[in-house]
Structure 1
Amino acid sequence: MAEERDIRIQHLEALRKLGINPYPNAVERTHSIADVIKDFDTLAGPDKSYTLVGRIRLLREMGKASFAQIEDGTGRIQVYIRINDIGADTYQLLKLLDLGDFIQVSGFLFYTRTGEKTLHVQSLRVLSKSLRPLPEKYHGLEDRDTRQRKRYLDLIANGDEIKNIFVTRSRMITAMRQFLDNEHFVEVETPILQPLYGGANARPFTTHHNTLDRDLFLRIAIELYHKRLLVGGFERVYEIGRNFRNEGIDRSHNPEFTMIEFYMAYADYNHTMALVENMLAFIAQQVKGSTHITYQETDIDLAPPWKRYPLLDAIHQFTGIDVRKYPDRDSLAAEMRARHFEVDPRLGYGRLIDDLKSAMFRQGHPELRQALFLVDYPEDVSPLTKQHRSLPGLVERFQPFIGGLECGNAYTELNDPLDQRARFEDQARQRAQGDDEAQVLDEDFLEALEVGMPPTSGVGLGIDRLAMLLANQESIRDVILFPTMRKTAEEQS
């Protein structure tokens, strides 16, 4: 690697000695490579000239004529370079070019004797000199850690396969906006730096603002600011933005991630369930051309209606534990241990139920691989949710699951300010007992609720996990261009 870099630097210096700027400011381009490939028969002919740009991916010098392949962001094309066409001085530049360099070429289009679509070069310029070699195309770039850590090499080596993942993600977000705009939602932006974090059970990242001389938190959820907007008179709002949670990294978690949250007044969780399943079916149709997707070898139909499972019934069905028979933490913990489930001594009753929920999905039952809603959760793990209208001790909350992945969280939102204060105070007690993900009491939010918030339902959905599903990727790091990574051995030393 070092030796090849030295050779490339020598080529760079040789170009400069010839009076050639290897990093010029101005670039000319008349067509993308995809454009000329698509309309090749119409554009071809010696009386027409086109200017293309791209990275050199192949270079074969053959005496007085050479072939190369260049690639831009849309495709790849062969170019034919003759000393008689560009002159001896320019032709000698080929000896100073390396794979990975960017060039600008002008000329006419023709077919070679083997039928290859080709640009016959009549002028050539260097646009950018590459000082490091590209990943070997023959072997590809297969090390997953390197691919995620150095995405630029991954994109070069694995081309369309990787780009298509992120094109899918982009089209998914575009379709999401289209659906919500059509449903008369207004897109808003709310603070990422917050004086107090809330809206989810998670640990925050803390930073310090020097001028104000105060600590601030990177938001863990968007929710509480959206509810303030509903207090102020907005009826339907949504936001696609970054959240930050100081938590572990695994195949479905990254400390920095993207969520969409939307809230609508005069609605409950039944309305939101219908909206979510219709929106995700619409997105799949727009992005994949069908409501059927394949995720990790499972065919999943996102067409509504999705199956609804009451949470406690599902836990009983898939783990064998009937939570209703164990009405307190100690009895439930004992039964979990008896059935060989791990029990965290710091967690309360509701959080143990949440652990059982996660355990049942880890078992991989085929029925739980489809698109479904889990509904009706324990009150003490849902501090922002209205009590269930007919099931004491439960709240009107649901979570969508697709392919075994938890994709979001939604409620009939709690708008009783006195009940909300009592829930926050209970969360404070849980924090005192060691649950550092319990929510903090937010006086400003409670004051807003006391002004009055209409009946409301809202949902937060994980953009990254939805991208995993639509792009059929096993890890969240494969759908984030630059995921958070652990230190390398070199960085640790």
Structure 2
Amino acid sequence: MEPYLDPFVVGSPSGEEKGYLITSPEYSLKQALSLGAEKAYEIAHTFRSGEKGSSYHTAEFLMLEFYQVGTDLHQAMDLLEELIRWVTNKLSLPFPEKPFQRKSVKELLSKLAGIDWDRDSLERKITELSLTNLSFNSMEYEDCFFLIFLNLLEPNFASEFQFIYDYPPEMAALSRIELGAAKRFELYFGKIELANAFYELLDPIEQRARFEKEQELRRKLGKEVFPVHEEFLQALERGIPECSGISIGLDRLLMVLLGRNSLSDISPYWREI
């Protein structure tokens, strides 16, 4: 479980059983790839606690997650853009012909913040702009990165679709690292994140090490520490072909395509929180 992701806890009436609502169908789909599937997808009800504070967050939402063998990161961008254009055509919605912008994180940091993504550079810019009163000793790398991202990058995003790709290696999650960058992307429309994608890490040893590091961080943050997902690691050991995976928040996508400003106009699961 990613350190900053928290599932809802559920229990039986007797109190003898405990479980968690699904945050993503990711692991089961990758297990299908390890058993020979070349394409896999699921539209799932997903649940995440702590989703508060804006008109485009809700505790329950519909997620489309899909994987395709033989697809690298830029091919995955092509595939997602093609899908969105197909959907808008089927719905007879107006849509710009201009291709989606593609910008690397390093490019955005240099242009909008004047820095690189190493921790020292992030800390110097945070100090210069007085973005926090917290001690850097108490902050993880991601905390520093998102202070810069949310204050200096995201406010400058135009109201258009753009892919943001190649993240710092500290934020690789389940993506592979090549040439010093985590091979993942996020699709934004303005300030709204619509999709997240990985060029998948296939090394079970590296993935186990990342899971154990996530456990350490959850423990440090005082959160529940979940067991390592052994079935997923076994799938990696069996072998998963080269592939990319994409998850899309369908509620948010429909909100953007219809020109609405709140999930309350779109989602039957939205409630003010």
Q: How does the TM-score come out when normalised to structure 2?
A: 0.88
Shift of 1:262: 0.4
Which residue of the partner structure matches residue 243 of structure 2?
A: 456
Match of 1:356? 148
* Partner residue in 1 for 2:26: 223
Match of 1:243 in 2: 46
User: Larger Cα Rg: Structure 1 or Structure 2?
Assistant: 1
State the AA in 1 paired with 2:79: L
User: Are 2:112 and 1:322 equivalent residues in the alignment?
Assistant: no
Cα gap change, 1:258 to 1:435, in 2 (>3 Å): farther
1:354 CA drift (Å): 3.2
**1:233 match:** 36
- C-alpha change, 1:428 and 1:461, in structure 2 (3 Å) is same
User: Secondary structure of 1:368's partner?
Assistant: coil
User: 2:229 maps to what in 1?
Assistant: 442
1:185-264 to 2 correspondence within 5 Å?
198=1, 201-209=4-12, 213-249=16-52, 250-264=54-68
Which residue of structure 1 lines up, in the alignment, with residue 163 of structure 2?
Answer: 373
Structure 2 residues without counterparts, runs of 5 or longer: none
When residues 407 and 440 of structure 1 are mapped into structure 2, their CA distance, relative to the original with a 3 A threshold, is: farther
3-state DSSP class of the match of 1:458?
A: strand
* SS of the residue 2:267 aligns to: coil
Give CA-to-partner distance per residue, 1:283-322, whole Å, 9 cap, x none. 122213432xxxxxxxxx2x4632211112212312x241
Does structure 2 conserve the Cα–Cα contact (< 8 Å) formed by 1:309 and 1:374?
Answer: yes
Is the contact between residue 206 and residue 217 of structure 1 (CA under 8 Å) also seen in structure 2?
yes
Picking from 252, 270, 273, the partner of 1:465 is: 252
Q: Is the 8 Å Cα contact of residues 202 and 245 (structure 1) preserved in structure 2?
A: yes
From 198, 202, 217, the equivalent of 1:430 is: 217
| Match of residue 276 from structure 1 | 80
Distance 2:241 2:226 in 1: 23
**Alignment partner of 2:231: what SS?**
helix
CA distance 1:399–1:412, change in 2 (3 Å): same
Is 1:468–1:479's contact at 8 Å kept on the other side of the alignment?
Answer: yes
Q: Partners in 2 of 1:476 and 1:343 — Cα distance?
A: 33
Whole-angstrom CA distance in 2 between matches of 1:347 and 1:438: 19
Q: Distance in 2 between matches of 1:220 and 1:403?
A: 24
Per-residue deviation, residues 38-63 of structure 1 (Å, max 9, x unmatched): xxxxxxxxxxxxxxxxxxxxxxxxxx
Aligned CA distance change for structure 1 residues 238 and 403 (closer, same or farther; 3 Å): same
CA offsets per residue over residues 418-437 of structure 1, 9 Å max, x none? 11111112212222332749
What is the alpha-carbon distance in structure 2 between the residues aligned to residue 435 and residue 317 of structure 1?
36
Higher relative contact order (CA 8 A, sep 6+): 2
What is the distance in 2 between the residues matched to 1:288 and 1:343? 49
Q: 1:455–1:379: structure 2 CA closer, same or farther, 3 Å change rule?
A: same
1:247 Cα deviation (Å)?
0.9
1:400 is aligned to: 187
Contact 1:199–1:223 (8 Å) recurs in 2: no
3-state DSSP class of the match of 1:238? strand
Q: Give the Cα separation in 1 of the matches to 2:204 and 2:104.
A: 27
In 1, the alpha carbon distance for the partners of 2:227 and 2:78 equals 31
Equivalent-residue separation in structure 2 for 1:351 and 1:228 (angstroms): 32
- On the 8 A contact 2:2/2:173 being kept in 1, the answer is no
Measured against aligned partners, the alpha-carbon deviations of 1:374-406 in whole angstroms (never above 9, x if no partner) come to: 010112222200112xx22x2110111113311
Q: The residue matched to 2:261 in structure 1 has which SS?
A: coil
Shift of the alpha carbon at 1:209?
4.0
CA distance in 2, matches of 1:251, 1:438: 30
Distance 2:224 2:167 in 1: 18
CA offsets 1:221-246 (integer angstroms, 9 cap, x no match) = 11111101101111111111111101
Q: For residues 404 and 226 of structure 1, what CA distance do their matches in structure 2 show? A: 29
Match of 1:453, SS state, is coil
Q: Report if aligned partners of 2:219, 2:225 keep a CA contact under 8 Å in 1.
A: no
For normalisation by structure 1, the TM-score amounts to: 0.51
* Distance of 1:452 and 1:384 partners within structure 2: 15
Q: How many residues align?
A: 270
Change in Cα spacing, 1:305 to 1:315, as seen in structure 2 (3 Å) is: same
Q: Give the 3 Å change call, closer, same or farther, for CA 258–227 of structure 1 in structure 2.
A: same
SS at match of 2:182: strand
Write the letter of the residue equivalent to 2:8.
F
Counterparts of 2:166 and 2:222, CA distance in 1: 22
CA RMSD of aligned residues (A): 2.6
